[in-house]
Structure 1
């Protein structure tokens, strides 16, 4: 992985995310409705999710036609270059549908299976988070750094919930147990933004079951490059089964408690 390639991938991710973010911010129709559903009737896709993914994939294919693509709304090509783009064209769709500001565009680039570039563009915040593997994490010109690890009982946690009723029921059980053991719990509605909020020190930690690679790929790199430890179950990497992010010293007891509570299963 050369510095030149990293810089090229970062520039393309920033430009694609900026264009998509502007489309979503400025092009949202007043009568926006649900275009389709996925895992359940409340797991929605809007016409703007689809338009954003098309804009991003067309842009990346124009500039790097040999790269692979993996997008939330169905874009999937293998590629031959060893580079794969992992795209969430609108993370926080329900927020966007309701006119809430916590949504973003998330774009990561992987080289030979390892995430090397991550960009999370949150237009309604006016913030663009970016990270490169080994190069640190930034929002605008400011370097990001996680908060010092607090004890678990003084932790402000972020989390999210799935769209299947059975999964939500168990996730509620986990929250019910944790809420008396930590400072408080926030549910923002965008996994990518939550991971960036850990990086920026706005959350002490974050966990969620059921994320897909496009949900966490960019935000995970931003968090790690800001000093967070990330993973899934003990000894396992971040995955759909479980995603945990927190500063070292908090990560370990949080991960252990989530394991005890069975946060990794429905």
Structure 2
């Protein structure tokens, strides 16, 4: 076992290494399916929160593939997936899966989409894997073992003031929330270097880990959007959270270099980034 798979105290010996291996298999297989199996006539299969919040047949196929891997490798674990997979378990492990993060990008043929697979042990995220097949990148982290991209250990950017920070965000598919998020962005833009909107929360969190962004924030995310990416960002030295004193959640999720996090969090609080 390498140093990156040393589990936190209390986790059974070898559990982190096993979960990481399974997560890499599941994310890799789903990523290959999505990359190589995308039909030329890909269409919307269903909608969720609004007519522009879409699901494609490939979202469903990727989740089915991941579910199959987990049932074969870890049949006693619980599972929560974006596209409806939900089962109880008896092992203390729960998988939190987004089979296609960035569905609209994928629908339009844009490359910024990913597969996010996280494993919790007794309620704490122990392993996170984010595969970004069109980049040829797979990010991974184990609690206490650092964040990695291939053989490179990741570290977030060096300290910089907020006005020199490159900050990513995202926007919801519910129109009233989008309007409020636009108002928040108006408050943020003049105070930072620039804003980016990539379309995949998991990739944005990994880009904070890799030093490609100084921070990322968004309201309205779900556990499957956050679980793997938050662990990867935190293991690379980023601070993560929501409103002051609270963890990242659907109310607000924020990750950034320590200096930018400390400056951006109160700005987002004052701007009302946590409510519609």
Could you state the TM-score of these two structures normalised by the residue count of structure 1? 0.99
Partner of 1:110: 120
Q: Distance in 1 between matches of 2:25 and 2:174?
A: 34
Residue 144 (str. 1) matches residue 157 (str. 2)? no
Q: Distance in 2 between matches of 1:144 and 1:36?
A: 37
Structure 2 residue ranges without an equivalent (≥5): 1-10
Give the Å deviation of 1:159.
0.3
How many residue pairs get aligned? The number is: 266
CA deviations on 1:170-191 (whole Å, 9 max, x unpaired) are 0000111111111000000000
Counterpart among 166, 169, 172 of residue 182 in structure 2: 172
Counterpart among 222, 227, 231 of residue 237 in structure 2: 227
Counterpart among 130, 139, 162 of residue 140 in structure 2: 130
Q: Distance in 2 between matches of 1:2 and 1:99?
A: 42
Partner of 2:3: none
Q: Distance in 1 between matches of 2:139 and 2:255?
A: 16
Residue 263 (str. 1) matches residue 273 (str. 2)? yes
Q: Distance in 2 between matches of 1:40 and 1:134?
A: 39
Give the Å deviation of 1:62.
1.1
Q: How does 1:158-169 map to 2 (within 5 A)?
A: 158-169=168-179
CA deviations on 1:138-162 (whole Å, 9 max, x unpaired) are 0111110000121111110000000
Give the Å deviation of 1:3.
4.3
The 10-residue stretch of structure 1 (139-148 or 1-10) with the greater mean CA deviation from structure 2: 1-10
Give the Å deviation of 1:262.
0.4
Q: Distance in 1 between matches of 2:50 and 2:35?
A: 26
> RMSD between aligned alpha carbons?
0.6
CA deviations on 1:113-150 (whole Å, 9 max, x unpaired) are 00000000000000000000000000111110000121
Q: Distance in 2 between matches of 1:132 and 1:205?
A: 21
CA deviations on 1:208-251 (whole Å, 9 max, x unpaired) are 00000000100000000000000000000010000000111221
Residue 187 (str. 1) matches residue 197 (str. 2)? yes
Residue 87 (str. 1) matches residue 87 (str. 2)? no
Could you state the TM-score of these two structures normalised by the residue count of structure 2? 0.96
Structure 2 counterpart SS, 1:162 = coil
Residue 11 (str. 1) matches residue 26 (str. 2)? no
Structure 2 counterpart SS, 1:256 = helix
Give the Å deviation of 1:169.
0.2
Structure 1 residue ranges without an equivalent (≥5): none
Q: Distance in 1 between matches of 2:95 and 2:253?
A: 20
Runs of 4+ in 1 over 2 A off after TM superposition: none
Residue 75 (str. 1) matches residue 48 (str. 2)? no
